[in-house]
Structure formats: structure tokens, C-alpha cells
Structure 1
Amino acid sequence: MTTPVFHGIKTNLLTTASTAITSVATAVIGMVATGSDADAALFPLNTPVLIDDVRTALARTGTQGTLPVALAAIADQCSPLVIVVRVETSADGQDALVEAGLQKLLTAEQVTTYRPRILGAPGLASEAVTTALATVAKQLRGMAYALVPAADLAGALAYPAGFGARELMLLWPDSAVGGADIEGRALGLRAAIDAATGWHKTLSNVEIAGITGLAEPVSWGLDDTTTDAALLNSANITTLVRKNGWRFWGNRTTSSDAHWAFESAVRTSQVLQDSIEDACFRFADKPLTVGLVKDIVATANGYFRKLVKQGLLIGATCWYDPAANAGADLANGQLALDYDFTPAAPLEGLTFNQRLTDKYYVDFATLLATS
């Protein structure tokens, strides 16, 4: 067959292989709670369920257990998506029930289409539960928020020694309400900050709605490094202070690695991982060509530029390293790309250097003459 000859002018509409990356949704809470008289149709046992209207759901939580207190505390901050796993109440073996409930959060994305990234078990804190919570947070690339179960400052300061997870933020003391209240408020405020400001902003120094007081007094001064609050922060515990309303005060995770000391660094890392991976799903199984590699690198760098412009990131770069890509690996369909990034650190400490001087008297006569 003779190949037709094209003689003229035409335009082909093409799309580039690179794509805009959208950051994953981070303001999704996942929590385990108890509630023996909750509506079983809305809150079935040991099943992750998506609550898309927290205030309406409050009418069906009942009055028992941690569920009504935690959801009310969240609702005071905002009305986010909340994935709830309700577990049985037990006078013996409650930790095991909660730990099993936390495992159910790992299936939440398949069940609800949303991945929980702000995690907690309000009112059910114990060392075993918090350890399990941190493990689940790592698997979900989320952050866990847990109350330190200590009756006094000395007990609180000793508690973090048992933890080292970058995905965990510890809180102390409890609120005056107690139970699931303070952890619920932390989860709700974290979601509110994500929605209003972004995942690059830490939990610290944002007014908390609904706090009436603390279970234990905490001394604090903005310029004092010897207070209870300063000691707690130095022990990687986020506390609460009262200045223009009640606020969480502390930016740090339990990690001993300085790279992951700040909550914002961990969450930035998680968002970059998931967002880039999700966007690059479309590249999987395509022919591994020079053009494909360039498109993937361009996609990642385009996303980084957008985040920097939005003030969510200080800088980041993706590149192809020949040393990491042997010919045999490429022939086997295996490609490795590198990227680095610098997250936005919180302004945790601000120092002013005050100097007494007489230099402003030098032109005093001129000032008198012209004033």
C-alpha cells in the first residue's frame, strides 16, 4: 500500500508527560475511641468509619467512653474529616483492644478512600498504646499526638526516655476536663492549622478553642529558660501556656535525630514522599527512556518550585545520579532518583541584643531647634 503523502499544514495537540503534583490531604484525623452507648450503626466496633460532619455525629456518640469527649474537643477547633475506630471498653486488657483498633487504621484508606495522617487514641494513653500509636503513624506517614500519663512534672520529664519516634509528639499536662479532652483538642487544632495555614506550621502557639484550665499548673515566661514549660520543651514535651488564650507550646517530636526534631520537618518529609509517589504513579510501567526520566525529574522539580513560591518549603531539588543507576539495573527496569529538601523551621528562639548608648544625645540641640 502506498503511504499517503501529506502536503499542507496541520497541528497536533500534545500533552507533556510531566504533570503538576498536588499535595496529599493532611487534615484527616484517625483515632481510636471507646463508647459503649454510641450508635452502633454509625460507629460499628473495630471498623474504620469516615465522619464527614463531626457536629452532626456528636448527637450519636452517646455519653460513655472517650468518643463523645474527643469528638466534642475536635469540633471546638474545626470540622475536619475524622476516621473513627470504636473499640470495646474493658476494665482489663484495654491496651490490647486499643492496639488492635490502631491496626484497623492501617486499612482505613481502602475502606474510606482517605488516609488518616493526624493520629491519636484520646483518653486511652499508656506507654504501650503510645508505642503502638507511633508505629502506626510511621506506617501511615502521619503524626501521632499522645498525652504523657504522669501526675506531676517530675513524672512527665522522665517519661520521654522510652520513646524516640520522629512521628510522635507528646503532650503534658491534661486539661481541667481530663479524659480525652486535651488530645482531642490537639488532633482538631492540628487539622485546623493544616487547613488554614498548612502542614509546614507546627502545633505550637495557636489559640486552642474551649480550654478552661489545666489539670496541673505549669509555670512559663516568654524570656525565662528555667520555667516548667522550658523544662518540658527541653524534654521534647509540648505543654500548654496561657497568653491571649490557651496555646500548645512546643515544636518537637521525640526523635533524638536533629534532622527530625521539629514536627514541621517530619510532616514536610511525609507530604513530599506521598505527593511525589502519587503523582508518579502515571509513569509506572512506561518505557524507561531518557525522555521519561527527564519528565519525572521535571515533575518533581516543578512541584518543589511551587512549594517554595507558596512558602511551604525553603528549597528542594531532584536529580539523576549516574552512580546510582547501573546499566544492568536500568535494563532490569529499576530507576533511582535523588532529591533533597530544606523544610521551613519554626522560629523557636528569638534573641534581641539590647545596648544602652548616649549617641542619641549627640544632635540634641538640633532636635530642640527643629521640633
Structure 2
Amino acid sequence: MSELRYSCIESFCGPGGLSLGLEWAGFETLTAFDHDDESLDTFNQYRDGKVAFKADSRELEPENLRNKADLDSNEELDLLSGGPPCQGFSKQKRGAHLGDERNHRVIDFAVLVGGIQPRFFVLENVATFGKKRGKKFMARIRDLLGEEYDLTDNTYNAADYGLAQTRERFILVGRRKDVDAYFEIPKPTVGEWKTVREQIGDLPEPPEDYSEHPEYPNHEAARVSDKNVERFSHVPPGGGWQDIPYDLRLDCHKDVDTSSGGWPDVYGRLEWDSQAPTLTKGFDSFTRGRYGHPEYDRPITPREAARLQGFPDDYEFVGNKGDVRGQIGNAVPPPLAMAIGLKIRRALMIDDGVLDKKDTMPMSRKGQYELELPETTPAHS
């Protein structure tokens, strides 16, 4: 293994957004796991070798995970990363955080960290995890890991790291206390936020027969009723359901005070020269948010959503339409993961004596570390 490439195990890997960004930053994914078959197929299809396997975190022992990664008993792991299920912490789930069993997967992650003792770990979740909803879980993580790890938590806006999407995510980085270099929160990698036009404006229209575009995987239009197309045709860029003529509105919108702005993103149309809101797995429906194309009377396609998440065009998502929507909508944006990964790799290189503490490392593939990074680059980077 090159001295500039470090080992990583990915937990709750999903389709591989977090892994991809860390790989761009110079980490080698030794193994990964998730419980979802289609996500695992997507993860493995993009990578040489079937490194990801199916597992339930409640039943997975740290030593089993080390064995899957082919780590010798005396061999250290550099990074354990993961994005445990976050739906229970979402602000859209009122009160669900109190009893949603999925939330306890973050504790499973902490147990794996404690058992494997990587030099660093990365835990990703929704922004609300860092607030009231995740308070008791953060306290538990500190109880389990606080003596051995320095913890740095921060809420990041993906638009600061090269996306045309104002997606906020909570990321906790743990540094094992014997590592002689601290993790630094990465500064924004762009001076100005990218726009929707920059991210998806060059894509051709998907086929009219709802098939997949022959040159762009997952680029296919969603089937929408004629009535919904008619409604959406009245919505200007940046507009929403309030722009639909009264007689065409859904019944639930007819008695809403438009001045109060109730559900402003429903039937929302994106703007070419602005940013998309946080994508969810409902991005192919007008009724679930501001996911309408800036110019055409249709929702954005999975490929357009993947672009807005920072995935390259050759990253094909596997499964039925619902599977693909869920994988893209729940993914960690790779460019954000890369920014985090580069700061961790810098700390590891300092600890290993490869870099001096006063040295800096470029935040792109250009420069002295170019040959050590994967040839695959982020879309529109």
C-alpha cells in the first residue's frame, strides 16, 4: 500500500457516496457493509471486486469486520466511516426520534469503533442530529468513545464544497488521542456556490417514452399525470403551488392563505442560476418538494439528482425506480466526503512523518499528490 493511501472500512455504506469521496481523498475501501441488497449492488458495481457485503449492525462483531477487511491482528485501521440510518432524526418526522429503532444504529457504529480502534472515524447524519434530536445519542457516543478519542462535530452545507444544493449534514470526526495531529474542519472549497445550470444544464432531455437515456445511466423521466403536468406548467422558476390557478390546485391548497407561504416548495420549480434544496428520495414528484426542472414541465431525473449530489455520470444506481430514488436521495455527497477525507489524510500523514505540521496539502487532485489519487474525478469539479 502506498504511504499516501490509507485504509478505510465503510459501515452503513448505502450506494457508496461517502466511500467515493474518501477514495477520491486517497483512502482504500477494504470492505463495507449495509443491509440493503440494491445499495450493495450499486456499491460493488462501481468498484473492482465485491468489497461490500450484507450485514445487520446489531449482529456484527468488530473482529468479524476486521476479518472481512483482511486486517492482521496487529494491523491498524486508519479510518472507520459510516452514515447510520438517519430518517428517525429527520425534522420531517415529528417526535419519531424518541422511539425510532433505527436511531440506535448510531450506537452500533460507536461499538464498532470501540472494538476496532481505528486512528480516525467519521460519523455522518442529518443536520438535526447535532441538535436536540440527537442529544442523548451524542451523549452516549461520548460515554463510549470520549476517553480514547477527541471528537469534532460540525454541520456542513454541501454547497460550500462544490454542489448546487444547500444540503446540510452533521459530521462527527473522531481522532484517536495517540495520533499526533489534529483534524481541522475543512474550509469551503468554492468561492461562490455552483448553480443548477452548472451542475445539470448540459444534460440532454431524457427520452419521451420514459426509457433510460442511451448515454446517461439513470437519466429517465418520471411518469406524471396530465393534470399534474398542466398544474406545473403554470409555475415559473423559483415558484410553487401558489402560482397554480385556483381551479387547478389540489383541494388541500385551495383554502390555504398564500400570504402565509404554507408548503412553499410543493410544486416548486428549480431556478437555473440558484441552488436546489436538500434532495430527498421523493425528488421525482412535484408534490414532495422543489424538484421540478427549471425549464421543462417534469421533475428532475435520477441522473440530474445524482449530478446535484456530486456523483460522476458513470456511477450507475441499481434497482427499481424506488430503490434508485432512495439511494440517491439518502447518499452522502462525495465532494463533501472528499473535503473531510483530505483533512483526515493530512493528519495521518503528519502522524506518520510524511508531512510536517506546518505543511499544507492541496484540496484538489492537482499538485504533488495527484498520482496517488484515483483517476475518477467528481462530476463538474
Q: TM-score when scaled to structure 1? A: 0.28
Return the index of the structure with the highest Cα Rg.
Answer: 1
Q: TM-score when scaled to structure 2? A: 0.27
Greater RCO (Cα-Cα under 8 Å, separation 6 or more): 2
